[in-house]
Every structure is written in structure tokens, then in C-alpha cells.
Amino acid sequence: MTTATETTYKVADLSLAAEGRLLIDWAESRMPVLMSLREKFEKTKPLAGQRITGCLHVTKETAVLIRTLAAAGAEVAWSGCNPLSTNDAVAAALAEEGIKMYAWYGQDTEEFYWSIDRTLDFKPTMTLDDGADLIFRVHFHHQNLIPGIIGGSEETTTGVHRLRAMADDGKLKYPVIAVNDAETKWDFDNVYGTGQSSLDGILRATSVLLAGKNFVTAGYGHCGRGCAMRAKGMGAHVIATEVRATAALKATLEGIQVMTMDEAAKVGDVFITATGMKDIIVKHHFESMKDGAIVCNTGHYDCELNLADLKEIAVSHRKIRDNCVEYTLSDGRRIYVLAEGRLVNLAAAEGHPSEVMDMSFANQFQAMMMLAKQGSELSSAVHELPAELDQEIAGIKLASMGIDIDTLTQEQITYATDYSQGT
């Protein structure tokens, strides 16, 4: 075990390392895809010589990714991508193992960016992002590092959206792999992961009964759909708000009531935003909410709930439970905000389960391998991972679950593209 020195990490409490190792052991036992990649590459070390700087929630699952990158030969420096999502015990364990770790729960804005800057002191050859804070920091504050960077990767939907916009404006200075767009990421992490972990966060912060409640999801994309599915399973009456007609139609055909937020605000008991957009719940929505309404966000950025508006109309507020602040309005109605409006699944719970992050992070690992192999040939744009990788990752996952599937015969393969036969 490398003896870390204070100059190569800053965590809340190094004495939490033993607890962190237990958490990581738990995650490793449930992440067979990443563990198979680690076993495959720990001897040949294809990432030797690479310096990977990551800015992604420091959780027990991320630790498994970090250990796998290091086992494949990379030197790794890391910061969290949200001030409230770092697990301090996991951060301590990684620091003690020699990862250049700069992350602790409850950072303020200055500490958040100070941590990112420290990870850039190591002059990365590749960046690994969740929400694009790191790549933006390089482009706008550390341009001198750009010539040494082969490329980067991006984990989340809104991060990819922003990087595509940056590339369209010709401002992106190195290639980025859109990990979020891999089917074995978005169709599992965003749906099943967000669905379960967001409800986990809500229940840990409130322990309310969801059955019979009006559960409003703002946004019916992959994340909103996952939240709606799990709330329905808990017996809630689910309402969805949307701006995209196709998503609203999908919700309707799923038996979910669709209405505007102006209407939903009057009847909702629990609200979760999953839109990636700002100002989804604002002053007049808070003003029409029922006494006891619970509001939270599971989008990457904390701009979906306009808490400045709520503070303006509240006469008082107090922390009533961990990750739960009670705001009282002038007529006595109380509104409860979870996790300060930040992503409730990671700030009030542990984020997505290991089993689903296993596939997201297998894609992250493969993105780093792709950059190491061919990054210098890629344009400064947003690139996709090869589609066949999804089948490989899903195949390893199925095998770990003891599930066999069929294969097409040669005759069937020929038939699939045979245009000489009619019906």
C-alpha cells in the first residue's frame, strides 16, 4: 500500500479508511463486469503511462472504477462532482491506497473548485467527468494543460448535452466520449438506478408512506420514468409534468396522469425534478403547494428547484431531519426541501446500486481504453462508444446472473438480410 502524504490528498478523516474498505469490498462483490475487466488487464496494464483525472461522485462504486483504472496501470487523481455526494470513508480508503483524492462531504464552492484544481496539478493525459465541471475547468482556467490531454469522457445526460453545444460552437479542444449514450449506461443507470436510488434518498430523508400519495415527477425522460415506475410500485398516484409531447404521451399511455406544474403544484404531496432544466419549481408553485409538501431534485445540477424563491416567501426555516429542511410560509403551511435541492439519490442515500453502476463504469473504463488506443486520431468532438460494446457488457452481466440466451442460426442470419423472399 503506497504511503500517501498530505500533498497527494485531502479528505475529511483518514481514520475512516477501514470503514471505506468494507464499503468498497461490498461494491466489488456486486460489480462483476468491472472486476472481470480488472482481472483481464491487471497484468498487461494497457493504461500504463496514462494520468487520469476524474471528477465524479466519490461512492463505493466509483472506488471500484478507480481501483480498476489503477490496476490497468493508470495514475489516478480524483475529486467529487457534487459537494454533497462524497462518501468520506470511501475517500479515506482511496487516499490511503495512493489515489490522489481531493474530496469530502459538505464542500463549499471554493473548496469544490480548489479540489478540482489540485487534481489538475498532476497534468492529466485524460479527463473523466460527470457533469462536465472538470473539462470546463480545463477549458476556461487551465488551457495550458490542453496540449497534454488526449481526450475525456462524460457520464451524464446534461453533461453530454453541454459538451455537444460546446463542440457545435467549435470551443471543444479535445475529443470526448459520451459514456451516457451507451445503451448499457442510459437504459439501466438512468432508469433503474435513478428510480431506485431517488426513492431511497426520499425515504431515508423523510420515512414517509408513499402509498396513496400524489407523487409528481417533473420530467418523464429516462430518469423521470424510472422514478415514476418505482413510485407506482410503492402505491403512489403518479403525476408527470413535461415539455416534450412524446414523453408526455408515453407517460399517459403508461397510465400516469399528465398535467402542467401549475396544476400539479396544487395537488402534489411529493415532488421530484428530473429534467436537467433550471427553474422547474418556482415561487408561484411553492405558493400553491399543500401543507407538508416534500420537494426534491434528482437532476445533476441543483438549479431545478428555485430555493431563492422559496426563501423569499418563507417566514422561517429549520433543519428538521438529516437532509430535510422545513420552510414555513406566512399562513403556516410547511414545505420540506430534501438535500438542499441537490441530487437526492446521492446526497441523502448512496446513489445507484452497485449492480447498475457496474455497467456504467465498464463503459467509463472502455472509454479510457479507447482514448489510450486511438484518442490521437479522434476529432475534438463528442464521440460514441462502439455499439457492440453494449452486447459485450450486457453479456458479462447476464453470465454473472446465470442467465443464458439464444443465438441465431446461420440460416436465420442469412434470412435477416435476405430481400429475395416475400412473406
Site residues, ligand 3DD (CB under 6 A): 57, 59, 61-62, 130, 155-156, 180, 189, 193, 197, 300, 346, 351-352, 357, 360
With contact defined as beta carbons under 8 Å apart, do 70 and 99 qualify?
Answer: yes
CB of 6 to ligand 3DD, least distance (A): 26
- Residue 33 C-alpha cell reads as 463486469
CB of 175 to ligand 3DD, least distance (A): 20
CB of 65 to ligand 3DD, least distance (A): 8
Residue 28 vs 155, nearer CB to ligand 3DD: 155
- What is the C-alpha separation between 135 and 85, in angstroms, rounded? 19
Q: Can you say how many angstroms the Cα of residue 355 is from the centroid of all Cα atoms in its chain?
A: 14
Residue 180 vs 323, nearer CB to ligand 3DD: 180
Q: Which residues of 54-70 are buried (b: 16+ CB within 10 A; e: fewer)?
A: bbbbbbbbbbbbbbbbb
With contact defined as beta carbons under 8 Å apart, do 40 and 148 qualify?
Answer: no
Residue 57 vs 342, nearer CB to ligand 3DD: 57
Residue 51 vs 57, nearer CB to ligand 3DD: 57
With contact defined as beta carbons under 8 Å apart, do 202 and 177 qualify?
Answer: no
Exposed, middle or buried, 277 (CB in 10 Å: 0-12/13-18/19+)? middle
Report the candidate in 129, 147, 197, 238 with the shortest Cα–Cα distance to residue 352. 197
Q: DSSP code of 305?
A: B
Residue 214 vs 345, nearer CB to ligand 3DD: 345
Q: Residue type for 345, please?
A: N
- What is the C-alpha separation between 205 and 294, in angstroms, rounded? 10
- What is the C-alpha separation between 179 and 197, in angstroms, rounded? 20
- Residue 352 C-alpha cell reads as 445507484
With contact defined as beta carbons under 8 Å apart, do 116 and 152 qualify?
Answer: no
CB of 190 to ligand 3DD, least distance (A): 6
Q: Residue type for 35, please?
A: M
Q: Which residues contact 378 (CB under 8 A, 6 or more apart)?
A: 151, 175, 371
What DSSP letter does each residue of 59-95 carry, written as one string? Answer: -HHHHHHHHHHHHTT-EEEEE-SSTT---HHHHHHHH
Exposed, middle or buried, 188 (CB in 10 Å: 0-12/13-18/19+)? buried
With contact defined as beta carbons under 8 Å apart, do 272 and 217 qualify?
Answer: yes
* H/E segment holding residue 169: none
Residue 130 vs 133, nearer CB to ligand 3DD: 130
Residue 357 vs 396, nearer CB to ligand 3DD: 357
